Chains A and B, each alone.
Chain A
Amino acid sequence: MNSNKPKDEYLIPLKLEWESGPLVAESISYPQPEQIKVGNDTLSVFTGSFALSTVFKAAKDASAGAKSLTGKLRYQACNDQMCFRPSSLIIHLPVVVQ
């Protein structure tokens, strides 16, 4: 699928976002993409299994206890013959604030 920084402005990047909540997403790290050649174009993609990581920080007014964070991963994938429509994956992440 497209990486978070595709080379063509029309391509849909991989994007992870977190809703505001008891924890704030300080930074999101994406892996190093692969550069693959398709025809005359070079695409920046992630293939196979890969991991995204997020550094969270507790909000100053966050109360202790079990909480849930909600995120959304937007992605769009192709192979060399066709592309699949963009999709979003909703993520629910249980956390405990101490």
Chain B
Amino acid sequence: MTIRNLRAVSAFSLVLFLSGCSGQPPGTASAKTIKNRKPAPDFTLKDASGNSVKLSDFRGKVVLLNFWATWCGPCALEIPWFVEFQQQFKSRGLEIVGVSMDEEGWSVIKPFMAERKMNYHVLLGDDSVSQLYGGIESLPTTFIIDREGRIAVPPHVGLAGKNEYLQEIQSVLNEKQEGNSASAGGFLRLGATAAASHR
């Protein structure tokens, strides 16, 4: 190994070490540090086929939980973005869950879903789930939940920017899942791999 390569390896390892110690991946200005994250309250709601779906069914995935309604214009602006995100990031473990607060129920939700080609989970919400999440008084209200079932970023109350969602989703998807033996010593293992590749 040449001296120049050794320096590159050392710098690379140092960056990884510092990143690992912060507990927060780089570029995650809006994500909460892991120790500050609270668990997302679990719930069970029905989907359009009448199946019961629990939030905890998605453990191990990153969940974008969006409270919305067919009568909500700002909600309708976000839906095409969510359709795009679901297509783009499903293979990386993103699941989008839309909880509709339509009092009229599936009679209005199903046609809306078909028109907007909603390709993600849509559940019918109720006052109970609203109260679990602090009382959802305005829509849209959106949470991003990490793979361990914790709320990863402060909730968006009202319309948020597409790029803002994109950055947050990517940031949380990039986080190492806890309990994974590769992640526990991930920065050291990656450093060793980098050193090997530079020989």
Contact = CB atoms under 8 A, between A and B. Distances in A.
B139 A83 contact: yes
Interface stretch (B68-76, B176-184, B189-197): B68-76
Interface in B55-89: 69-75, 77
B103 interface: yes
B69 A83 contact: yes
A38 B73 contact: yes
A84 to B, nearest CB: 5
Nearest to B160: A81
Contacts of B103: 86
Decide if the interface of chain B is mainly helix, strand, loop or mixed: loop
Interface residues of B, number: 20
A40 to B, nearest CB: 9
Interface string A54-98: 000000000000000000000010101111111000000000000
A82 B70 contact: no
A78 B73 contact: yes
Given A10-B108, A10-B112, A83-B69, A78 B137 contact: no
Contacts of A80: 74, 159
Given A10-B108, A10-B112, A39-B77, A82 B71 contact: no
7 smallest CB-CB distances across A and B, nearest first, come from A82-B158, A81-B158, A83-B72, A10-B70, A82-B138, A81-B159, A12-B71
